[in-house]
Amino acid sequence: MNIIIAGGDGFCGWPTALYLSKQGHDVSIIDNMARRKWDVELHSNSITPIADLEDRVEKWKELTGREIRTYEGDLNHYDFLKQVLVKEKPDAFVHFAEQRSAPYSMIDREHAVFTQVNNVVGNLNVLYGIKEIVPDCHLIKLGTMGEYGTPNIPIEEGYIEIEHKGRKDTLPYPKQPGSFYHLSKVHDSHNIMFTCKVWGIRATDLNQGVVYGLETEETKMDPLLTNRLDYDGVFGTALNRFIIQSTIGHDLTVYGKGGQTRGFLNIRDTVRCIEIAAEHPADRGEFRVFNQFTEEFSVLDLANKVKKVAQEEGFNTDIAHLENPRVELEEHYFHAENTKLRELGLEPHLLTDEVIRDILKAVMNHKNRVIEENVLPGVSWK
């Protein structure tokens, strides 16, 4: 299958490109290197040193004989995107290429506007590109579980059956996103659903949970293939951030009470979920939604898990409850369905102490790269 990975230089996209290439797919990457520029803007870095994309793909070719073509450019530049689509004629377009940090989108007006333009316009261009150049191509779009918010009823996979005033219908599940970033994903979902209906686009919206982990079998093959790992208050996600905090002797920074519960998955499951979606394409005109996570944890559960393993490894780790910079419920009901990917063959890698220990040991080698002042949250929702 010819597969384009947009955002293929990023945390999820890079290991996915390698994994799909290893499975025998003909993979190419689109990326505008924006994520590396945001590190410069925020005076931050990946705790792991990451090679340039060209060096990464050259090493991959040397090790496996497999080529991954790269296109450096912005999805917001439609002429660039069209040229890539004409050249590649992809069967599947995996769309990771968005600004994905909720705090980044909440910094100020400029960052909110940038996030929504980058994400919504980029995605709209992808939809037009598919319609005009490769109408049969399957769009595999990364959404987020954060689109749903935390309703007081179970979260379904995309749709809910409703009975209202004696009539029944199956409708898109209500969305209650918690940041301008999460809102951009909801806007994307609406645009995709609409174009499936009016143009017959085939699309899978993967409402992904928070991804943790660092390496996959492929990224471990050589230091030049190492994945990025974020730990700062803007791009670092819970679990990865806690593990890194523990290695530098910092308290694990739980926001508020820590009862905020979310869906999580290992990066090894992210790459497999993309493969499953690609191998089972949506029908023409179908807007299919999968909830892509494997387990649910509260933030405090995660902090306690990391604290336990870190203490076993000899770290003097403690938990600090910070004033919550976000506006969100800190104690709430949360239960979400996630059966569809499992029914298609996903075998989850669950979060054991050994998984935490492995990530902790991997980051130990680079702990001297941590910029300590970046570890605390610097962006407030209010």
Residue 215 binds ligand NAD, judged by CB under 6 A: no
Residue 97 binds ligand NAD, judged by CB under 6 A: yes
Residues in region 13-32 near ligand NAD by CB under 6 A: 13, 30-32
Alpha carbon distance 238, 295 (integer Å):
14
Residues in region 282-321 near ligand NAD by CB under 6 A: none
Give the nearest distance from C-beta 317 to ligand NAD in angstroms: 22
What character string, x for contact with ligand NAD (CB under 6 A) and - otherwise, covers 99-128? xx-----------------x---x------
Give the nearest distance from C-beta 311 to ligand NAD in angstroms: 26
Taking CB under 6 A as the criterion, the residue among 93, 96, 148, 180 binding ligand NAD is 96
Alpha carbon distance 283, 81 (integer Å):
24
Residue 148 binds ligand NAD, judged by CB under 6 A: no
Please, which residue, 94 or 370, has the CB nearer to ligand NAD? Answer: 94
Please, which residue, 190 or 200, has the CB nearer to ligand NAD? Answer: 190
**Is 27 in contact with 84 (CB distance < 8 Å)?**
no
Taking CB under 6 A as the criterion, the residue among 11, 19, 290, 315 binding ligand NAD is 11
Residue span binding ligand NAD (CB under 6 A) among the ranges 33-41, 158-166, 250-258, 348-356: 33-41
Which residue number is nearest to ligand NAD in terms of Cβ? 10
Residue 185 designated active-site: yes
Q: What does the binding site for ligand NAD look like in residue numbers (CB under 6 A)?
A: 7, 9-13, 30-35, 74-76, 96-100, 118, 122, 142, 144, 208, 210-211, 237
Which residues are the active-site residues?
144, 181, 185
